[in-house]
Amino acid sequence: MPKFEKMAYASSDEMIFGTAKNPVKYGRDFTVGGGYVFPELVPHPRPGTEATKKTLVKEYEKMVTDVLDRCVAIGIPGIQIELEHVYQMTRNPDWGGEIAAETKRLQEEYYRKFGLKSAIRATIADYRKPDEEDIRNSVALENMLKTFETSAAGGADNLSIESVGGKEISDYTIVRQDIRGTLFGIGVLGSRDMEFMWKKVVEIANKYGATPGGDTNCAQANVAMFMAGGYQDRSVPHTFAALTRAIAAARTLVAYEQGAKGPTKDCGYEDVIIKAITGNPISMEGKTCACAHSDLLGNLVAACCDLWSNEAVEYHDMFGGTTVAVFTEILGYDVALMNTAIEMGHAKILKELMVQSDKYRDTHGFILCPENAYEIGKAIVSNNTSYYARARAAAIKAGELMLGDSNLQMSAFEKESLQSAMRTLESLPDKEEDFISECADIYKKLIPGFTLANYGL
Amino acid sequence: MATVANYANIFVRYDLISSGEAKGAKVSSKDAALQKVLQCVLEGDSDNIEAAVNEALASKDPMTVINEGLIKGMNEVSRLWDEGVYYLPQAIVASDAMLKGLEICEKKLGKSLEKKGTVITHTAEGDIHDLGQKIVNALLRANGFEVVDLGKDVPVDEVVAAVKKYNPVMLTGTALMTTTMTAFERISNRLTKDGYATPFVCGGGAVSLEYVTGYNLGIYGKDASQAPGMASDAVNGLSWSQLREKWNS
Ligand code: B12
């Protein structure tokens, strides 16, 4: 059941990069949201190195060393490294654990020698298959939980995941521009699966003294956003993707209701809304994640960040060093600029510049600029009678905002898609149980393997 | 706080160039019943296609409804998509409606329409990013192919066994991770060793032209919309190397 009833901030003006209401302290003298922004670097191993534990651990050792060396070379005060598990690291719990331990060993060495502050996030791969197995009782789940444990025991400070509940529905509905099913897959099923999953993650984190970090709607809202793509893509309407993002905020919130503390997961673009509601520190990615994917809000998305990330970069040589070192440097200077603005009392101006760069570039940036994100947050907390009600309210609010600002231009096709989705959203039942039974009937017929029992229904 | 007076030097909305009026469909039928079928396909209206098809079947034979209603409509949808009028969802819901209509006609015919050929699709071992594959499935089916969908995270052994069982005109693979795409090469090696020359179209975010053309049988698929054209070429007898020559250079 939903828990948040009010906003952590009195207005979006109060929200700013580097500071959160509830800072998180962990790792080696590392505080997130305590006044300054830090980089979060995500290295990705080269293909082939996943073949054995030995080669993969070695790969991480090299990558992490390059990152820490570059921090020291150019004076970066502190850094978080995310171990975003490739499948093999979760499939084999001891691999994930050993890589966390090796990363910690290196971070401790640089802390001792140079005082470089640091922390580790481990993001376990959710490889459950909702349309093929009992996701509440499967080998995949068992391995994932074991890997959370080995990671925490190995030295991960922050435990995170990109959970996939409801994906079997949204995979079907996003490419069909079906907003009802998307609301069902993300807002209802996704939320319910997160409640199940996060109780377990929080328990494990507490057992090992690690911090339960966060979740992201990568499996759904990012699918819609990446498919919407750039200005010339015609896979999913951008307005539809923006509605999906608003729904995702209501879903991702569940992690924090179950006890996650943040910093949130970098690819959760919905996290500005999460910060507005929870006051927890957030990790964001924008222009610096162009190495992993393109987006239309590269500056704007940094406006309220507490960690600034690159999403993932594959380990290779570049003229300026290895990719992980190069991206450490790029993130480091971005963050230095933000922290300079903070020190000189210009943070609000820099925030405004970031926002104005992208607010009207595309619908996604528009709904995620702090003032609109705040409004969507308010719609969520004031409709907290059910997961469904608040997710639907978030989408309707996002739609109203898009239609209500004449500076936000849209093609006729985009506008029609939005209006059609709004008509559907408004016609849906008010009660969650009615919505669930309506959707259960429809999607059981359409989606082979879809079972309500996976969601405790 | 100051506002921006002019965004033109900050970003240009290239998406709004010539985006004015949505251009409509160009096909129609003089027959009112067939027109309804056509309309349902063009609008992706799965709710009403059943009634429309049944109405048309009252006065027409199933093959006419298929050719003059369902397939004609779907061809127009493909054109609208190619020209950028329709987005992917319009193409997919149209194909859903078309397939639903087809099923009714086939029942009346008493047999299934002969498929153009069988294609096996899968997502690589260890990889659950299967959205690209699902789009490929939908587009192949819409174009009259039989699809054997092996699903996601499919072990190499299973893929090889399926090829031996169905002997498809084409095999496809999707991988979004560089650490899982390596399964493709193993599949290729196994098939080649056992004497199979099945064209193996590989796509997905992680894979590249360079990687896929580095092993036998491999043809790089950049966009799901290419899959039906490639499968047609395979049916028409193009070998994997001819397919590679045509689509990858
Ligand atoms: C959505 C997503 C997810 C979703 C997947 C949902 C789903 N149903 O697929 C979820 C959340 C489950 C997920 C999980 C993970 N993900 Co992920 N994910 C993505 C994301 C954001 C988008 C992928 C997507 O759906 N694209 C849209 C589809 C339609 O595109 P597509 O499949 O490529 O298909 C197009 C073409 O390639 C082509 N095509 C595809 N197949 C074929 C076949 C043929 C025959 C043809 C002709 C064409 C063709 O046609 C399509 C377009 O028409 C990407 C980011 C990115 N830059 O791609 C990361 C990404 C792929 N993920 C990544 C990672 C690391 C993971 C995880 C390991 C993370 C973790 N620790 O949890 C897990 C993986 C677990 C596992 N075992 O697989 C990395 C992979 C890095 C790499 N290259 O190795 C990426 C690149 C993100 C990053 N970190 O940079 N992810």
Query: For A147-182, what is each residue's pLDDT tens digit?
Result: 999 999 999 999 999 999 999 999 999 999 999 999
Residue A86 is nearest to which of B20, B87, B177, comparing CB atoms?
B177
- Residue B68 in any domain: the answer is yes
Q: Does A311 touch chain B (CB under 8 A)?
A: no
Same domain, B152 and B51: no
Are B104 and B124 in the same domain?
Answer: no
- Give pLDDT, residue B27: 77
Determine the pLDDT at residue B2.
66
Q: Assess whether B192 and B145 both reside in one domain.
A: yes
Angle in degrees, CA A198, A121, A68, rounded to 5: 180
Q: What CA–CA distances, in Å, run from A457 to A168, A389, A422, A428, B96?
A: 16, 17, 27, 20, 28
The residues near A407 (Cβ < 8 Å, ≥ 6 apart) are A360
CA pair distance A395, A243, nearest whole angstrom: 5
C-alpha distance from A46 to closest chain B C-alpha (Å): 7
Domain boundary pick from B109, B129, B154: B109
Which two tokens mark A361?
A: 């570039």
DSSP string for residues in A6-62: S-SSSSGGG-BTTEEEEEEEETBTEEEEESS-EEEE-EEPPTTGGGSHHHHHHHHHH
Q: Is the residue at B9 inside a domain?
A: no
Q: What is the pLDDT of residues B165-221, one digit of tens each?
A: 999 999 999 999 988 999 999 999 999 999 999 999 999 988 999 999 999 999 999
Determine the pLDDT at residue B24: 65
Name the token pair of B92. 């997919």
Residue B32 lies in a domain: yes
Same domain, B123 and B242: yes
Sheet with A117-124: list strands edge to edge: A211-215, A158-161, A117-124, A78-84, A38-41, A307-309, A283-285
- Give the tokens for residue A285: 């990615």
Residues found in chain B: 249
d(CA B202, CA A223): 20
Clarify whether residues B201 and B124 are in a common domain: yes
Query: B19 pLDDT exceeds 80?
Result: no
Which DSSP helix (H) or strand (E) runs through A102? helix A93-114
Instruction: Give residue A90's identity as a one-letter amino acid code.
Output: T
pTM across the whole model: 0.92
Are B82 and B199 found together in one domain? Answer: no
Answer yes or no: is pLDDT of A351 > 80.
Answer: yes
Tell me what pLDDT residue A328 has.
98
A77 burial level (CB within 10 Å; 0-12, 13-18, 19+): middle
The matching CATH number, chosen from 1.10.10.10, 3.40.50.150, 3.20.20.70, 3.30.70.1400, for A12-455 is: 3.20.20.70
Collapsing DSSP to helix, strand or coil, A261 comes out as coil
Residue A309 has pLDDT above 70, yes or no: yes
Nearest to A48 among B3, B20, B182 (CB): B182
- Do the domain assignments include residue B7? no
Dihedral (CA of B66, B68, B72, B74) sign: negative
B window 186-245, beta carbon within 8 A of A: none
Segment A88-113 mean pLDDT: 97
Alpha-carbon distances of A291 from A221, A322, A332, rounded to whole Å: 19, 13, 16
Residue B139 lies in a domain: yes
Nearest residue by C-alpha to atom 87 in ligand 1: A292
Given a contact cutoff of 8 angstroms between Cβ atoms, the answer to whether B231 and B116 are in contact is yes
d(CA A378, CA A373): 9
* CB spacing of B179 vs A127 below 8 angstroms: no
Does pLDDT of A58 surpass 90? yes
Mean pLDDT across A381-409: 97
Chain B interface, mutation test: which of A89, A413, A419, most B Cβ atoms within 10 Å?
A413
A130: cis peptide before it, omega within 30°? no
Pocket of ligand 1 (CB under 6 A): A 44, 84-87, 123, 125-127, 162, 164, 167, 171, 218-219, 222-223, 226-227, 292-293, 311-312; B 126-133, 135-136, 172, 174, 176-179, 201, 203-206, 221, 223-224, 226-227
Nearest alpha carbon to residue A310 among A332, A285, A333? A285
CB contact under 8 A, B93 and A223: no
pLDDT digits (tens, 9 = 90+) for A185-238: 999 999 999 999 999 999 999 999 999 999 999 999 999 999 999 999 888 999
Closest CA to A90 of A175, A184, A179, A159: A159
Place of tokens 């970031």: A354
Structure letter (DSSP) for residue A209: T
Q: Percentage of residues in chain B with pLDDT exceeding 90? A: 75
Within this chain, do residues B122 and B232 fall inside the same structural domain, yes or no?
Answer: yes
Buried b (16+ CB within 10 A) or exposed e, B49-71: beebbbbbbeebebeebbebbbb
Centre a 10 Å sphere on the Cβ of residue B136 and count the other Cβ atoms it contains. 30
Helix/strand/coil for B212: helix
Note whether B131 contacts A361, CB cutoff 8 Å.
no
Confidence band of B22 (pLDDT split at 50, 70, 90): low
Range from A251-260, B77-86, B95-104, B210-219 carrying the lowest mean pLDDT: B77-86
Query: Structural domain boundaries of chain A?
Result: 12-455
Note whether B145 and B116 are within 8 A (CB).
Answer: yes
d(C-alpha A118, C-alpha A115), whole Å: 9
Strand-strand pairing, A158-161 and A211-215: parallel
pLDDT at A93 over 70: yes
Q: Please count the helices (runs of H) and the strands (runs of E) in chain A.
A: 17, 13
Q: Which domain holds residue B128?
A: 118-248
Question: What pLDDT sits at residue B81?
Answer: 85
Instruction: For chain B, count helices (H), then strands (E).
Output: 11, 5
The tokens describing A223, both together, are 């699918």
What is the arithmetic mean of pLDDT over A358-379?
98
Find chain A residues with C-beta within 8 A of B93's C-beta.
176-177
Closest by alpha carbon to A179, among B93, B131, B134?
Answer: B93
The confidence score (pLDDT) of residue B40 equals 95
Q: Choose the mutation target among B4, B81, B87, B139 for the interface with A, i.e. most A CBs under 10 Å.
A: B87
Residue B47: which CATH number?
Answer: 1.10.1240.10
In this prediction, residues A366-392 reach a mean pLDDT of: 98
In a domain, residue B3? The reply is no
Count CB pairs under 8 A between chains A and B.
93
Examine the domain organization and report whether B153 and B204 are in the same domain.
yes
Q: Is the pLDDT of residue A325 over 70?
A: yes
Residue B169, CB half-sphere, CA atoms under 13 Å: how many?
Answer: 22
> For chain B, how many structural domains are there in total?
2
Chain centroid, CA B223 distance in Å: 10
CATH number of the domain bearing residue B184: 3.40.50.280
Decide if B5 touches A, using CB distance below 8 A: no
Q: Please indicate, yes or no, if residue B155 is contained in any of the structural domains.
A: yes
Q: B13: which chain A residues are within 8 Å (Cβ-Cβ)? A: 231, 361, 409
First to last CA, chain A: 14
Residue B45 shares a structural domain with residue B74: yes
> What percentage of chain A has pLDDT greater than the value 90?
98
- pLDDT value for A23: 98
Residue B198 in any domain: the answer is: yes
